[in-house]
Structure formats: C-alpha cells, structure tokens
Structure 1
Amino acid sequence: MMSILPEKMLRIIQIQTEVVRLGLDLGAVMALVVMRMQTLMKADGAVIELAEGDDMVYRAASGIAEGQLGLRVPVHGSLSGLCVTVGEALLCKDSESDSRVDREACRKVGLRSMIVMPLKDGDIVVGVIKVLSAQPHAFDEADMEVLNLISDLIASSMYNAARFESDEMFRRATYDHLTDVANRALFYDRMRQRLAQAVRQKERFAVLMIDMDGLKSINDTLSHRAGDAAIREFALRLKAAVGDTDTVARLGGDEFGIIFYKVERDMDILGLLERIDERVARPFSFENMTVTLSGSTGYASFPEDAEGLESLIEIADRRMYSQKRAKKTG
C-alpha cells in the first residue's frame, strides 16, 4: 500500500469531522464530500452517483460536473455501471480511448480522465464516488488510495443514515433534512425527466424559483432556531399550494424551486402564483413569537420561455430577483 502524505491525511480527518457534524443529512454529506474531494485531489470535478434501477444518477456534483446534477447514465455501457457490477475501483486514463466509458456522457461533462470508486453498503455496491479531470492521465495509484479512504467514509455515513434500509438511504439522499421536501439533486433529476417527457409528448410545464424574504432578519432578531422553523413552515405552505404531482424542493438556504408538472393554460401559472402568495403571506407563531413570512417568486414556462433546463431555471431566477429588487425599492 502506498503511503499517503501527512497533509492529505490531515485533510481527510478534517473532512471526516465535517461529515460527523452533518449527522444524518445524507444529501448535505454527499454535497460536502464532492466539493472537498475536488480540492483534495486537485481535480476539475467530483461526482457521487447512486445506482437506481437501470441507471446511475448524479446525486451530488461539483466543478465541471455541477451542471449535470440529476443526470442519468445507463448502468450498462458506463464506467460507473461497471464499477457497481464488479465492485472494484477503476481508473480511466483517457476517456477518448477507453472502451469501457460512455464517451458521449464524458464529453457532455467535459472530462478526459477519472477514478471511479465503489460505495458499498455491506456487500452491496449502492453507488460510486468519482473524481474527474479535463486532462488525460491526471490520476495515478496514489490518488486511488486517497479516494478509497474517502469512499469508506461516505459509505459508512450512508449506512448509518439509512439505518441499514436501502429505501431509507435513497430517501435521505434525495430529500432535504430540515424540511422533508425534495433536495437540489432530486429537483434537477425530476426537471430532466419532466423536460424529456414534455418534449416527447408536446406538453407544457413550468418551473418556479422562490426566495424567502427576510430570513436573515429572523435569524438576527429572533434566533437561528426561529429561522429554521420559518424555513420548515415556508416549505409546508409551498407544498400545500401545489398538486400531488408537482415537486417542491429546497435548493439551499432560503431558496426553493417548484416543478409545476402540467400547464394547460397561462391562467394555471397565475393561479399557482396567487395561491403561493396567499398561503405564504401569513404570520405564524414560534415559541410565543410572531414571525412574518413572505417570498419572491419568478417562473419560466416550457416551451414558451425556453426549451433547455438551464435556460428555464435562469429565466425563472432572473424574474424572481427582479421581483425581490422591486420589493426593496417599492
């Protein structure tokens, strides 16, 4: 076994400490690990994929892979799928000459070399962690040893968070720990699936971006516990405003997203915006304190506003921030 440099061992211990602090919030654990691994390995990106049926799904991603969050790659025909099948670490020195990889997916991400390490729940491989480089021949055996230590760490966290149940593990990986709505990874996964379906069936749908107003003030003047309670209440009210087939997600901090599954007419979107405003803009009580809630919302509809995932989210984001600015200057 090759020796790992002391500074890298120290960084791995620091990552382990950060993971322990996050506890059972598996989605946050995975997001943290990919960011730290990218830095530790001096890589251009890192990904955690979970094996779900016939697909490998990007459940956490950083760097050059960040824009591919929620991407699904077939188990058969991909290096990640092969890693799950054989249960062993795999090194790709150059994706352009490696017959084991899904070359189209590699080009979409912008990678040329990678290490793929299995994540094991007991004897079962439930996914992979991989580090990526835009350059060929970027990694060696020493890098594989470092990644192996991290894979054991993340697999142990997944094992404990899931309480040994695979269904619970996937839930903790895809739902926000604080609010129990979908997390960022699941939001992007469902966005990709809904977009593909809408293209095939020539249907309309919409994406909404919502920011809570005044969360910093709640944290500063009341407490962070009050702020967490406000976030939970905000999520509950968003869920109450949408239908059973729609997706409400917490994208991070005070930012939320909604996939409005089907739009028959423009009035449907306006009706949803009115329901959100009406339900959210009511004070609620927290430990005998009255907390005021409100939010700023923007939307984009497919195919009228845009036909691509990133464009739809960008337009909805821009409209949301425009409303937020108008509130501050109004």
Structure 2
Amino acid sequence: MRPGVDVLLKAAALGKHLTALLLGLSGLFLSFSALALEPVRLQLKWTHAFQFAGYYAALEQGYYREAGLDVTLIEGQPGISVIDEVLSGNADFGIGTSSLLLTQPTAEIALLANIFQHSPQVLVAVNHSPFQGVHDLAGKTLMLEDGADELIAYLISEGVTPNTFQQVPHDFSIDSLIEGRVDAMSAYLTHELYYLDKAGLSIQIYTPRSVGIDFYGDNLFTRRELASQHPERVEAFTQASLRGWDYALNHIDETIELIRQHYTTAHSADFLRFEAEGMVQLIRPDLVELGYINPGRWQHIAEIYQDLGLLDAIPDWNQFFFQPEKEKLKDWLTLLIISSILVALLSVIALYIYRVNRRLRQLLTEQRRDHHLKQDHNHILAMIAADQPLDATLEAIALSIETYRPGYLCSILLCDTEQNCLVQGAAPSLPESYNSRIRQVPIKVGAGSCGTAAATRQRVIVSDIQSHPYWKTVRELAASAGLAACWSQPVLDKSGQVLATFALYHRQPCEPSEEDIRLIEEVAQLAAIAIERNEVMQLLRTSEQHHRYLAQHDPLTGLANRHLFSDRVEQAIRLAERDQSHLALLLIDLNDFKLINDAHGHAIGDALLQAIATRLRENVRNSDTVCRFGGDEFIILLQGIQQTAEAFSIREKLLQAMDEPFQVETLQIQSGCSIGVACYPEDGLDESSLTQMADQRMYDEKRRSK
C-alpha cells in the first residue's frame, strides 16, 4: 500500500463511526413517527423454500418494519392463482411468472421488480436415448403446471403444438415421471432436479432458452389500484424486499437456518443449499442490479407471446411498469426541527469524510475497477465453457463494460453472411426504439460505424455522429436516442472473417483514449471466442439432429422406419389401454410394383414410391404414423379411434386415393394396392400380433382380387 493510505483509512473509519453514532441518535428521535405499522400481505407462488429467501430476510432483519410495514407472508398451495389472490384483494402483493402479460386486462397489473433475470422453468423427460429431442414429445403425455405459458411457447416454436400432445394437470410429484404415468413434466431447475438426481433417474432437460425464449421468473407485482392510490407504500415494500434479497444472497447459510427454524422443515439443508446455488445463476446479482426491469426485454417477451397467438395486443408499458412518485415527507415539521439540530454536526463530519475519501478514491478506484473487470471476464469465459446461450453471454459482455465504464452504451451486432447484413446480438442499455430500427444493418461503407467496420474489417471511430458522412441516413434516429459518438471494432475469426461488430456509444461527442482502444480490442477478442464456440456447438447439434432423423426415418420417402414405428405403436397401445380406446394398423402392399420397376427402371420406381408416400400422408391425420415397412410395403398406425368401423372407412378412402394415377416425370402410372386391417384390442394386444393379422388379411384380399 502506498505511504499515507493506511492513515487515511483510519481517519475515514473514525469519521464513519461518528456519523453512525449521530444517525443512530436521529433514528431514536424519529422513531415516534412510526408507531403505527401499515399491514400488507404478500402471496407467495409456492410453499416455503429458499425461492422466497429475500422476503424472509426482510422480515428477520426488520427492513419492512423500518419502512413502516407489518408484512404477512401467505404460503402458496396447488390450485391457488397468485394473480387472482392479488386482484381480488386477498393479498396486496404477489410473485408471478412472465404470464403476467397474459392477464386480462393487463392494465390491472403493476410490475415492481424482476427477481429472477432468467426463468427456472424447464421440461424434464426420462432419458431413453442419446438421440431423443424435444420433437419426440409429439404424441406424448405432458404434465404442465399453471403459469407454464413459456413452456407452451417453447413447444409451439419447435413445432410441437398443443394438439400433438396430451396435457394433464400437474400433481407436483416426480413419481408420475419415474413411474411412467407421464412422459415429461414441467419442473424448476432449482427444485425437482435435486430430487430426480437423488432418485438416480437419467433425464433429458429441455429449456426454452435453447431457442431464444428467455423469460423473467418470480416477478414481484401488485394491482394497479393499490399502486395508484398508495405509491409510497408500494415503493417502500419494493425497496425493503430488495434489501432482503441482497442480505439473503450474501448470507446463504444464515438464511437457510432461518427458513428451517421459522418456516419449514420439509426440505433438508442440503436441498436448500442446492436451491440457493441454482437461484444465484438465475438472479445474476454479479451482473444485474437486484430487481432490474429491462423494458426492451419485456417487449420481446410480449412479441413472442403475440407471434404464437397467446397474446392479442402489446400492453401499455406506461401502465404495466410501476413508476413511483417522489416520496412525500410525513411529519415534515418534526423532521425539519430535528434536521436543523443535526445539520451542523453532520455537515462538518461529512465534509471531513468527503475530503479523505476523495483522496482514497484516487488511489484505489482504478485498482478496484480493473479487478472487477477481470472477475467479470473470467465469469464470461466460464459461461462460454459451459455453453450458455450466446445472447446471454453477449449481454454479460456488454454489461461488464457498461459497469466498468459508466456512461458507455455497448452494442454487439452479429454478421448474417446470407443477407450480407448485421443483426442484433446484444444491446442491453440502448433504447428499444433505436434497436428496432437497426435490426438489419447493411455491411457496406457508409452504413454507420458498424456497417463500415464490418465492410472494411477496420476499427471505425466516429467522434461526432451528427457531422460524419457515415451516419447521414440515420443521424436523426441517433439524435432521438441521445447518441452522439460511436466507436466500432470488427470481431474477426482466426481466418480474418467478420463474425460481428462491437460498438461503444456516448452521449457526448468524444475521442477514445489509448485505454479505451485496448478495452475495445480485448472485448472484441472475448466476443470472438463466444461466437466461434457457439457456431461449433450449433454445427454439432445440427449433425446430431440429422443423424437422429436418419436413424428413425426411411431415407427415400422420409417416412418413419420400423424402429420409430414400433416405438409409436408401443406408446399408442399404452394410451389406448389407459383411455379404453382403439387403434388400428393398415398394412399396404402395392400391386405389380416389380413390373413397373422392371419396365421403367429403378429411378422411376423410386420416384413412384415417393409419390405414394406423399399421397398416403395426405389421406391420414397428422396424429397418425405412416411407415415404409419394406420395399413396396407400407403400414399406417391410426391412433385414438373410438370404433373399428373408422379404420375400415379410412381403408376405403385410401383404396380410392391409390386408384388415381400418379404423375411421375412425364409418365402417368397406375398403381393399385391391397390393404389389410387389424384393430386393437380385438385382433391382438401387441404390435407383433396386430401386424400378423393385418398381413394375413392383406394377402386374403390380394388372393380374392386375383
């Protein structure tokens, strides 16, 4: 430590002790104004656990009482709607998911804070094969809890629409998954995964974040009526709760002991520690201020809901976000008298401490900032190694620089080589009105700082946007967003190809320093590592999906192969047995296909098989499975039929469709068929017996036709 720093530290500490003493005395004088506490009720979304640690800590540490509030925590239970409890007045505050946007009308809700920056909700399925994916949930039974709308949005975005799977109510027990009563269930990363691991069950986890659906979780809210009538009370409750979360996350072991002593013994300390560690990764207090609300991200969530048909219109954000008025002083005359007594003493001490601290900051600020930046970058490298979603990694990079350089606004644009443009990667602090207008920046000289940097592969420094020719077409947009300068660095891979651009914006015209240039280059290298790693992982996932598809489908027709068909039949029999319904197998054998193949060649024969596969798919339901069973044999699984007569009706429909000629290149080819039908349970109780019966009836029909 440099000479004199130790003396300054001791002097600062002495001044702070004096200040604390005086403030304590002032608190004693003021305590008479808080004799009556305002009662409020908070509805928790589930039973007591570390998930609500911040509110327990706020009670235990007296933060609510200091805010003039007498808070009651109401434990959640299955079947209780937190939104309904708050809107009906049974509770004043509640904790909900991003499904708050789907409340009708949305204007009745006032959002106060986002506790979880990332939602813990995932889908969990038993791991049957290394090649299974979320698309395999089609035709399966899913157990989903209320408020799991983001999981529905994820399934729809992957093409697994609600009509392709059976949804059953959540019984909040992992036994349903373990015992095979359901094929997948909604779960929390911080809860059910602990017990599934203890049970020794091999599972697959499907997360909406894998497709860019990254919603908030555990959002603190109230009803708009309360926020409008008592904004001071709402603001006081919010700030006290956030203080509680800060304490809980910094005293995890102490908070676990508090929960087990005063709230619940249903969970072990080991479970609560597992839950706490998982929540830290979702809350991200190291990167984001507790309770931080990003309006642009809420706009993105609403657009996802709207695109998937779950939300009719984007809400009025001015009503949805709580905007507290300035606090009005109570007992202002008393405070004025007391403050006049303290002001002289406090001002002398404050001036002394200010002078000492100013000198200390000059010696220590740079070292502390550099240390925090290094910690942030090590954390980002760990995110890259853990294959965290690219958008989350890029946002962490941008936020780390904005923390290191207050006043800087960061943007990372990704290169789209197919459209020769730059698209949004991360810009957490730029206005959404600006981001929405630059979603596709042309890669060419003159297209702003970033478009030019990508085109030239050189750093572009624009110190005054309003006077620079590169910004001619968008300078008014930049002015409306309050942006005056922009420095852009191209992000290059090892071969020199452009991956992205990293830009720093400023509110005032300015030039970068040498330290700024070093920072830009370092961040560009970090972004390159993240993007290249993401591209490699995407190639691996695409390859895995392709091989998984080939393992389950006929390469010529794209129909299900025998392996996939057998799995579908097994699942269908299980559902039919449970629901007391029927299913049927239709075995189809083409007439005289060998003669057609010999007369026109194998290429025409293959094209005919592809045309036949298409016609068969067009004449059955989406829920049915068409399989190429052999060279010129096909088999169809009809699920969920109520009477066997339905199967024979579909058989007649297929026979008529197959009698129509096929146009294969320049040829019109007639290819009839024979179809044998077997129904469950009348003709057999498993795939083998049903297939044999369908085969026997098909050959009986073929003999009769001859």
Using the size of structure 2 for normalisation, the TM-score is: 0.24
Give the structure, 1 or 2, with the largest relative contact order (CA under 8 Å, sep 6 or more). Answer: 1
Aligned equivalents of 2:674 and 2:557: distance in 1?
A: 19
Aligned equivalents of 1:173 and 1:53: distance in 2?
A: 20
Write the deviation string for residues 23-61 of structure 1: whole angstroms up to 9, x where unpaired: xxxxxxxxxxxxxxxxxxxxxxxxxxxxx95343599xx
Q: From the superposition, tell whether residues 295 and 55 of structure 1 become closer, same or farther in structure 2 (CA, over 3 Å).
A: farther
Confirm whether residue 297 of structure 1 aligns to residue 369 of structure 2: no
Q: 1:257 aligns with which of 635, 651, 662?
A: 635
Instruction: Give the SS at the match of 2:691.
Output: helix
Offset of residue 167 of structure 1: 2.4
Instruction: Give the SS at the match of 1:239.
Output: helix
| Contact in 1 for aligned 2:584/2:677 (Cα 8 Å) | yes
Match of 2:96 in 1: none
| Contact in 2 for aligned 1:206/1:262 (Cα 8 Å) | no
| Contact in 2 for aligned 1:296/1:324 (Cα 8 Å) | yes
Aligned equivalents of 1:214 and 1:162: distance in 2?
A: 44
Confirm whether residue 54 of structure 1 aligns to residue 126 of structure 2: yes
The one-letter code sitting in structure 2 at the alignment partner of 1:208 is L
| Contact in 2 for aligned 1:209/1:320 (Cα 8 Å) | yes
Q: 2:544 aligns with which of 157, 166, 174?
A: 166
Q: From the superposition, tell whether residues 304 and 230 of structure 1 become closer, same or farther in structure 2 (CA, over 3 Å).
A: same
Instruction: Give the SS at the match of 1:234.
Output: helix
Q: From the superposition, tell whether residues 58 and 231 of structure 1 become closer, same or farther in structure 2 (CA, over 3 Å).
A: farther
Offset of residue 290 of structure 1: 1.9
Offset of residue 163 of structure 1: 8.2
Confirm whether residue 313 of structure 1 aligns to residue 691 of structure 2: yes
Aligned equivalents of 1:173 and 1:162: distance in 2?
A: 16
Using the size of structure 1 for normalisation, the TM-score is: 0.51
* Structure 1: tracts of 5 or more residues without a match: 1-51, 60-73, 83-160
Offset of residue 210 of structure 1: 0.7
| Contact in 2 for aligned 1:210/1:298 (Cα 8 Å) | yes
| Contact in 2 for aligned 1:298/1:316 (Cα 8 Å) | yes
Match of 1:245 in 2: 623
Instruction: Give the SS at the match of 2:682.
Output: coil
Identity percentage of aligned residues: 33
Within 5 Å, which residues of 2 pair with 1:118-133?
A: none
Aligned equivalents of 2:540 and 2:679: distance in 1?
A: 36
Aligned equivalents of 1:306 and 1:287: distance in 2?
A: 42
| Contact in 2 for aligned 1:58/1:185 (Cα 8 Å) | no
Write the deviation string for residues 229-271 of structure 1: whole angstroms up to 9, x where unpaired: 1111111111111111000011121111100012222331121
Which of the pair is proportionally richer in helix? 2
Offset of residue 164 of structure 1: 4.3
Figure out how many residues of one structure are paired with residues of the other and give that number.
186
Match of 2:583 in 1: 205
Aligned equivalents of 2:125 and 2:704: distance in 1?
A: 46
The one-letter code sitting in structure 1 at the alignment partner of 2:126 is D
The one-letter code sitting in structure 2 at the alignment partner of 1:215 is F
| Contact in 2 for aligned 1:204/1:264 (Cα 8 Å) | yes
| Contact in 2 for aligned 1:250/1:257 (Cα 8 Å) | yes
Q: 2:613 aligns with which of 235, 257, 261?
A: 235
| Contact in 2 for aligned 1:299/1:316 (Cα 8 Å) | yes
Instruction: Give the SS at the match of 1:193.
Output: helix
The one-letter code sitting in structure 2 at the alignment partner of 1:292 is Q
Match of 1:277 in 2: 655
The one-letter code sitting in structure 1 at the alignment partner of 2:703 is R
Match of 2:559 in 1: 181
Match of 1:219 in 2: 597
Offset of residue 308 of structure 1: 2.1
Which of the pair is proportionally richer in strand? 1
| Contact in 2 for aligned 1:162/1:169 (Cα 8 Å) | no
Offset of residue 299 of structure 1: 0.9
| Contact in 2 for aligned 1:218/1:224 (Cα 8 Å) | no
Match of 1:102 in 2: none
Offset of residue 300 of structure 1: 0.6
| Contact in 1 for aligned 2:644/2:679 (Cα 8 Å) | no
Aligned equivalents of 1:208 and 1:58: distance in 2?
A: 31
| Contact in 2 for aligned 1:209/1:298 (Cα 8 Å) | yes
RMSD: 3.2
Offset of residue 219 of structure 1: 0.9
Q: From the superposition, tell whether residues 169 and 289 of structure 1 become closer, same or farther in structure 2 (CA, over 3 Å).
A: same
Instruction: Give the SS at the match of 1:248.
Output: strand
Bigger radius of gyration: 2
| Contact in 1 for aligned 2:590/2:632 (Cα 8 Å) | yes
| Contact in 2 for aligned 1:210/1:295 (Cα 8 Å) | yes
Aligned equivalents of 2:541 and 2:556: distance in 1?
A: 18
